[in-house]
Structure 1
């Protein structure tokens, strides 16, 4: 699969098997994230890979509470790759978003399902979320949650792409 084909065929996955993702695949996805462009090459984002079911489930509950729900916002995906970025870097949200995009596309390239789950900012502003970061030696005050890249083996085929809108791009020749 070439890059353009991967970009055109990747879809958000919202149904996963319970099969764990091989650690080497997680590492490849993370590596793709580390090669995302960042403002002035500052590399403000960090990635926290969560494959421990207990911690994954705890983060899921925090995320669900943020949106006032009891459902699993991670759709059963066994791995969550959390992207955070340094708040003191002006481009941190953009930098983290590019990391998320690279990881979503890499997961697809590797035959895995993935989806961007929001509310990472709110998750890591809670005492529980802050404790997860601080347990890893990460200064919770210095970082803002950008997104949760959930990853796993899709339990159903990806849907077809919606037609692209006609006014997506404008040209000035």
Structure 2
């Protein structure tokens, strides 16, 4: 394997983070990689919001966690950085575009020694009154929809091994 394929096959979702913040220079590089994700017709429909205010992260986590039936779950795992990817619903490929941004972010992060976890329920979170107020604060109108959340930080656990890949993952036409 080369360096890129090794990173792609080694990255894992991390659910236990240290309090250590991600240095700005590294975070900026990760975010830049997100902006270079492919997008349909290069429309670049996504917007990336970065939250590092611990209180706000906890408030968003509480709303996000309300959509899951797990008591006491912190869906952002105490990570010091929360990234929310939104995309313009008027662009036909908006979900794909936002998902590609998230993929670039999590893989770039791992290549730079930063761990992550892609957390769902951004759509539901930002359809609430609380979420809509935040979107307005961030300059995002109703055309934008939450695609996904990424929590970033440094793991406070051993990197878990990969689960075995399912045997029928790839199908070749014969």
Cα distance, 1:172 vs. partner? 3.0
Q: Deviations over 1:76-103 (max 9, x none)?
A: 1110110000011111011111111111
- Structure 2 counterparts to residues 51-130 of structure 1, below 5 A: 51-68=52-69, 69-130=71-132
TM score, norm. by length of structure 1: 0.95
**Unaligned stretches of 5+ residues in structure 2:** none
Cα RMSD (Å): 1.3
Q: Secondary structure at the match of 1:66?
A: coil
Cα distance, 1:159 vs. partner? 0.8
Cα distance, 1:104 vs. partner? 0.7
Q: Secondary structure at the match of 2:14?
A: coil
Task: Determine the C-alpha separation between the residues in 2 that align with 1:162 and 1:66.
Answer: 26
The number of residue pairs the alignment matches comes to 172
Cα distance, 1:52 vs. partner? 1.2
Q: Secondary structure at the match of 1:114?
A: strand
**Unaligned stretches of 5+ residues in structure 1:** none
Task: Determine the C-alpha separation between the residues in 2 that align with 1:152 and 1:20.
Answer: 6
Contact 1:61 1:70 in 2 (8 A): no
Task: Determine the C-alpha separation between the residues in 2 that align with 1:67 and 1:160.
Answer: 26
Task: Determine the C-alpha separation between the residues in 2 that align with 1:79 and 1:149.
Answer: 8
Q: Secondary structure at the match of 1:150?
A: strand
Q: Secondary structure at the match of 2:118?
A: strand
Task: Determine the C-alpha separation between the residues in 1 that align with 2:67 and 2:171.
Answer: 38
TM score, norm. by length of structure 2: 0.94
Contact 1:12 1:114 in 2 (8 A): yes
Q: Deviations over 1:104-123 (max 9, x none)?
A: 10111111110100000001
